Amino acid sequence: MKKIFVGGLPQDANDASVTELFSEFGTVRSIKLVTDVFSGRCRGFGFIEMEGHEARAAIEALDGRMYNNAPLKVRFEDTTRSKGKGRGRRR
């Protein structure tokens, strides 16, 4: 299972519309669009999980593709980033 970052989404994007877009390349196992706390609208990015070969096909086909007059940014999620906040204590 691979996690994909997708950016450049419009504010009116929802789980169904993004799932439909990615389903052309395989089964979307999970989707999490990041939404604004107050308005509930999409903040322009989210994360999708798909099988490895399906994820690679989706990235290759969708990265840079125009979607609602804006280019999508689609790539594997960077798992090397630290999950904690800040840099931690320096000694």
User: pLDDT of the chain along its 91 residues, tens only?
Assistant: 999 999 999 999 999 999 999 999 999 999 999 999 999 999 999 999 999 999 999 999 999 999 988 999 999 987 665 555 555 555 5
Burial class for 63, CB neighbours closer than 10 Å (0-12, 13-18, 19+): middle
Query: CATH for 2-76?
Result: 3.30.70.330
Question: Exposed e or buried b for every residue in 34-61, given b needs 16+ CB within 10 A?
Answer: eeeeeeeebebebebbbeeebbbbbbee
Give pTM, 2 decimals: 0.82
